[in-house]
Structure 1
Amino acid sequence: MPESDTLNSERLSTDIEQELLEKLRSLPSEKVLQVLDFIEFLWLRNRDAALVHAASRSSEASFGRIWDNPLDAEYDQL
């Protein structure tokens, strides 16, 4: 990524962060708790997806030894 893109991305991130903070500060406390709950939901979903992806990658070599054989090649044709 070119340096100018990185700087623009950082500036955009800072602008978004500032806007989020301003809006968050204007909410009543019960709404802030709902926002926090939603953020935690998104964070967990993202973390879970990353764990599934990592588990899939780590098992590829093991399954590759099982699946890469002449007998299994017949199923690849289906």
Structure 2
Amino acid sequence: MNDIVRDTLIAKIAQLPDERVAEIMTFVDFVRAQEEHRALVRDCLRASEPAFAKVWDNEEDDIYNDL
């Protein structure tokens, strides 16, 4: 995110009542948690690829590659 967009967002948030800022904080925490979860899932998938490659990469199962 560039500085102009960030500064514009901060300025808009600063104009809101405290209750609304609290809602935004909750939403931001939710979005960050989603991103952390997605990163964890991605990392787990990458870590498991070598182990599953031995099972998946064989001529006998090549027919399933086109599904």
TM-score interval for Structure 1 and Structure 2 normalised by the shorter chain: 0.7 to 0.9
Which residue is equivalent to 2:38? 49
1:20–1:69 Cα change, 3 Å: same
| TM-score, length of structure 1 as denominator length | 0.73
Q: How far did residue 70 of structure 1 move?
A: 3.4
Aligned residues: 67
| TM-score, length of structure 2 as denominator length | 0.83
Q: Which runs of 5+ in 2 are unaligned?
A: none
1:15–1:68 Cα change, 3 Å: same
Which residue is equivalent to 2:23? 34
Match status 1:14 vs 2:3: yes
Which residue is equivalent to 1:65? 54
RMSD over aligned Cα, in angstroms?
A: 1.7
- Structure 1 runs (4+) deviating above 6 angstroms are none
1:15–1:77 Cα change, 3 Å: closer
Q: How far did residue 73 of structure 1 move?
A: 3.1
Which residue is equivalent to 2:12? 23
Q: Which runs of 5+ in 1 are unaligned?
A: 1-11
